[in-house]
Structure 1
Amino acid sequence: MLPTPTQSDVISVSTLNRMARDLLEAGLPAVWIGGEISNLTVAASGHAYFSLKDSSAQVRCVMFRQRLAASGVRLAEGMQVELKGTVTLYEARGDYQINVATLRSAGLGRLFEAFERLKARLAAEGLFDEAKKRAIPTHPRAIGVVTSPAAAALRDVISTLKRRAPAIPVILYPTPVQGDGAAQKIADAIRAAGRRAEVDVLIVCRGGGSIEDLWAFNEEAVARALAACPIPVVSGVGHETDFTICDFVADLRAPTPTGAAERVSPSREQMLSQVELARRRLERALGRLMTDKTQQLDYLARRLVHPGQKLARQRERLAATRQRLTLLAEARLSGARRGLSAAETRLARCRPRPAETARELDRLGHALRRALVERLARQRLALAQHEATLVALNPEAVLSRGYAIVEKADGSAVKSPGQLAQGERVTLRLAEGSTHARVDHSSGAQGELPF
């Protein structure tokens, strides 16, 4: 009899599935698996759900949108693929599944490797540099298309250009886009477009397909021709998930050929809308201008005076000016006459009288001579008085009476005995010469000069 399990021995389904998932993820490394896709579903989120099967078994797989886009593979029902992923378990349903990280078409591993090697080499050479990308003209005069004349992509491009810009001519540079030698022919068509220089922008395009179908656009010859092309190039090869070397070298990548046609052509509807908008703006601007000019014209019309009225006012101003000039001339003439009369009066008073002038000159001459004689006499008297004073004050006259002048060594005259020191040498100036003496204070009374 089996023992009855306790409450602690029972686990939930969620716990069981989580334990199984942990065991699967920890016990099995990421592996490469090959098989056929079936039950493919691509959700609105972009995630892909499918089964990978062989002749005797199948396993559920999930590939999330970012990894699917990065792989560059367009999944299809029945497609043989090789994928690398992690074995896990979807807990909500208990489904064992593969979480796909990388996927490629079966047998195309060497093509992918060649693609990656060429991509890395061309990138190292700078063929993918964004700085080398040229701007696509917004209003090209002509558009060139490099593709096959039988390709559905050409019909998509032509219909799109006819709808968006029917006035722009389209020039086809025909070339095969698939098969042996297609890459060299595509490169030749690109170089021919560059030499002819008859278009402003070039579309290189073809429809979607497998990596083998698109391989011509992964060849180095096409990449070199694109890099050397003097015309801006838009690549529209395959579908949105398809990436080729051509996309990286071109000046612009479009997701589809139709998208490439839309990128190089201005929208007719949009231009008509812009023209209509500009027309309305111009109409409003002209309306405002007409309104302003009309108001300005009315204002000027109110200021406009009839020529007859203007002439009448000018005649009135001319008559008033003439009257003022007449009055001013008369006033100036009257003033001039008064000035002339006054000048005649002053001139009559200043008229010369020779006889009276001669008598006046004689009188003034006699008076001048008398004044000079009197002044000369007064000057002589004053000079005599000054001379007597100078003679009286002359020190030489005093010395002639027996006096002497005592001088110190510096030549200053001695006025008091107190200015002299014991034994000091002095000079005695006499009327007829000078002599030296020495001061002796030990003899002589106060007020005397002891020698």
Structure 2
Amino acid sequence: MSDTTTASAGLPMAAPAMPISLLNRLVRERLEAAFPLCWVAGEVSNLSYAPSGHVYFSLKDAAAQVRCVMFRSRAQTLGWRLENGQHIEARVLVTLYEARGDFQLNVEAARRGGVGRLYEQFLRLKEKLEREGLFASDRKRPLPAFPRRIAIVTSPQAAALRDVLSTLARRAPQVSVVIYPTPVQGEGAAPQIAAAIRRAGEGGECEVVIVCRGGGSLEDLWAFNDEEVARAIRACPLPVICGVGHETDFSIADFAADRRAPTPTAAAELAAPEQAAWLARLATTRATLCRQIEQRLEQRGQQLDWLARRLQHPAQTLAARRESLRNLQRRLGAGLLQASAQARGELAGLSRRLLLSRPDPARHGGRLAALAPRLRSAWQESRHARAADLARLRDGLAHLNPRAVMARGYSIVANRRGEIVRDSRNLEPGEEIAVLFHRGRADAAVLSTDHDDSMPLAGGGIASRPGAD
């Protein structure tokens, strides 16, 4: 019977059919909204590791079981391997696998069964100490860059101690080690660990403390989750490095320490710098410094060459001064000619004005007679001033004349080739020389030479020096 027939018979029309995929999606959304992330406990069974890295298993108890999946990203951070028959506690998301309509749990994290109580204690203590500010980053102390002595708090029988000692011997053989022995697990280990940390800080012989232990279960590492140990670490006057367990293991001591190392070996690497690396760095720094010194010397040498090129010879300076004097002489001559021409022009203009005005000789004769001496006087003064300027320039030029210098008693010495001798080192005993005076010259021979610049120029006579040539 069709829907039309049903409707015509007075029955209600049926609702549209829902696809299975939509139904499963709605059920999954309702499940995930109704059940937040929660912890469940059970026994692992039907365990299967897929090639993709996902892990499939079932969790069961005496009355029921449920399918579970732990995706690869979560399984890689687990830190241990699931096995059938294990009792675990899992943090799960309740959901539905839509493709097959299977109810399942997506496992976000897992821990071995029986550690839930310890883990809760761990979280409560961590929260308490964190509220007190015991883990604050501003309370962390810096590690010494180059410690000379390191304190190690651990068990003498621990494999972690051998790892730390071998690492220190390899990286920094110059660093000495002081071991403060203590049990690192078991009943009563926590107070002894705290006491060993206090002894290491009070000894005053070390600069940094390493607290270390190898990996193990939460129960094995529980001594390092003790409040007394955490407070002993913070009260220690020396910076403390905690290297307890493996990289995935965290303890209260890790949070209280100034630096947390993932392994005991890493703690040793943090405590002491690698000697070979610092020596290599020192060699690199030395090479860089040498290169910089060489570059600086090369730059200064180049600067010296540049300054030497700028330094002029005295002869060049004299030539420049002579050229300047010639220019001044030319300007003086041109100035005198221009002044004379200007004066002649003014006189001619006055003459023309005089002729045009047709002055009355009788009326202006007295004035002309008075102006004539003034004109002659002004002309004489101008001529004398120009002559005085010319004399001053002539005297200045005479001072620069080498003959004028020789007139004051100086002379010029030339060798047989006619070259002027400026240094006694260029002469040899017995060599013939010519001495030029202000008037005349004299031929002479060198008796001896003296390279001492401090010999008096006048008034001291000729001094004989022992050992002179």
Q: Which residue identity lines up with residue 259 of structure 2 in the other structure?
A: L
Whole-Å separation in 2 of the counterparts to 1:221 and 1:286? 57
Question: What is the match of residue 61 of structure 1?
Answer: 69
Per the alignment, residue 216 of structure 2 pairs with 209
Q: Which amino acid aligns with 2:129?
A: L
Question: Of 225, 248, 265, which aligns to 2:255?
Answer: 248
Of stretches 19-28 and 233-242 in structure 1, the one that deviates more from structure 2 is 19-28
Q: For 1:379-398, what aligned pairs fall within 5 Å after superposition?
A: none
Highest Rg: 1 or 2? Answer: 1
What does 1:158-173 align with in structure 2 at a 5 Å threshold? Answer: 158-173=165-180
Distance (whole Å) between structure 1 residues aligned to residue 258 and residue 165 of structure 2: 21
Scaled by the length of structure 2, the TM-score of the pair is 0.54
SS in 1 for 2:147: coil
For the pair 1:76 / 2:81, whether they are aligned, the reply is yes
Aligned to 2:374: none
| Structure 1 residue 209 displacement after superposition | 1.5
Q: Is the 8 A contact 1:48 1:65 kept in 2?
A: no
Contact (CA 8 Å) 2:74, 2:109: kept in 1 or not? Answer: no
What is the aligned counterpart of 2:151 among 130, 134, 144? Answer: 144
- Which of 126, 135, 139 pairs up with 1:132? 139
Distance 1:90 1:264, change over 3 A: farther
| Residues 1:268 and 2:248 aligned together | no
| Distance in structure 2 (CA, Å) of the matches to 1:190 and 1:44 | 47
Cα displacement (A) at 1:28: 5.7
Alignment of 1:18 with 2:25, yes or no, is yes
Say if 2:198 is the partner of 1:191. Answer: yes
C-alpha deviation, 1:204, in angstroms: 0.9
CA positional deviation for 1:157: 2.0
State the TM-score, normalized to the length of structure 1: 0.56
Give the letter for the 1:124 counterpart: R
Q: Is residue 37–residue 76 contact of structure 1 (8 Å, CA) maintained in 2?
A: no
Distance 2:102 2:189 in 1: 46
Q: CA separation in 2, counterparts of 1:188 and 1:178?
A: 14
The Cα of 1:219 is off from its aligned counterpart by 0.7
Question: What CA RMSD, in Å, does the superposition of the two structures yield over aligned residues?
Answer: 4.2
**Alignment check: 8 A CA contact 1:88 1:97 kept:** yes
What CA deviation, in whole Å up to 9, does each residue of 1:387-438 have, x standing for no partner? xxxxxxxxxxxxxxxxxxxxxxxxxxxxxxxxxxxxxxxxxxxxxxxxxxxx
SS in structure 2 opposite 1:107?
coil
Is contact 2:89-2:112 (8 Å) kept?
A: yes
Q: Tell me how far apart the structure 2 counterparts of residues 207 and 42 of structure 1 sit (CA, whole Å).
A: 31
Q: Is the 8 A contact 1:33 1:83 kept in 2?
A: yes
Following the alignment from structure 1 to structure 2, what is the Cα–Cα distance between the partners of residues 151 and 321? 101
Partner of 2:288: 281
Q: Secondary structure at the match of 1:235?
A: strand
| Count of aligned positions | 305
- Aligned residue runs from structure 1 range 438-449, under 5 A: none
One of 117, 120, 134 as aligned partner of 1:113: 120
Superposed counterparts of 1:266-415, under 5 Å: 266-289=273-296, 291=298, 321-322=408-409
Are the structure 2 counterparts of residues 191 and 132 from structure 1 closer, same or farther at C-alpha, using a change threshold of 3 Å?
Answer: same
The more displaced of 186-195 and 136-145 is 136-145
Q: What amino acid is aligned across from residue 231 of structure 1 in structure 2?
A: L
C-alpha distance in structure 1 between counterparts of 2:298 and 2:251, whole Å: 61
Aligned to 2:163: 156
Q: Which residue of 2 aligns with 1:257?
A: 264
Deviation at 1:267, TM superposition (A): 2.7
Partners of 2:55 and 2:213 in 1: how far apart?
25
> Which shifted more, 195-204 or 228-237?
195-204
Check whether the contact 1:32–1:84 (CA below 8 A) recurs between aligned residues. Answer: yes
Secondary structure of the residue aligned to 2:218 is coil
Of 126-135 and 25-34, more deviation after overlay is shown by: 25-34
Structure 1 residues 32-41 or 218-227, which shifts more? Answer: 32-41
Instruction: Give the deviation of 1:62 after TM superposition.
Output: 2.1
> What is the CA–CA distance in structure 2 between the aligned matches of 1:43 and 1:36, rounded to whole Å?
23
- Structure 1: gaps (5+ residues): 1-7, 304-315, 328-451
CA distance in 2, matches of 1:217, 1:114: 13
Aligned partner of 2:360 in structure 1 is: none
Mapped to 2, the partners of 1:181 and 1:67 lie a distance apart of 35
Shift of 1:318: 8.9
| SS at 1:163 equivalent | helix
Report the equivalent of 2:59: 52
Counterpart secondary structure, 1:198: coil
Q: Which residue of 2 aligns with 1:366?
A: none
- Which string of whole-angstrom CA distances, capped at 9 and with x for unpartnered residues, describes residues 10-36 of structure 1? 946x54653553464366665542124
> Partner of 1:61: helix, strand, or coil?
strand
Aligned counterparts of 2:408 and 2:50: Cα–Cα separation in 1 = 104
CA contact (8 A) 1:147 1:174 kept: yes
Shift of the 123–148 alpha-carbon distance from structure 1 to 2, 3 Å rule, reads same
Q: Distance in 2 between matches of 1:317 and 1:261?
A: 88
Deviations, residues 264-291 of structure 1 (Å, cap 9, x unaligned): 2213343233123213213322433554
SS where residue 125 of structure 2 aligns? Answer: helix
TM-superposed CA distance for 1:250, in Å, is: 0.6
1:89 aligns to 2:96 (yes or no):
yes
CA distance in 2, matches of 1:269, 1:42: 46
Cross-structure match for 1:373: none
Displacement of 1:98 in angstroms is: 1.3
Show structure 2 runs of 5+ residues with no match: 1-15, 312-402, 412-437, 439-469
The answer on whether the counterparts of 1:174 and 1:189 sit within 8 Å (CA) in structure 2 is yes
Instruction: Quote how far apart the aligned CAs of 1:49 are.
Output: 6.2
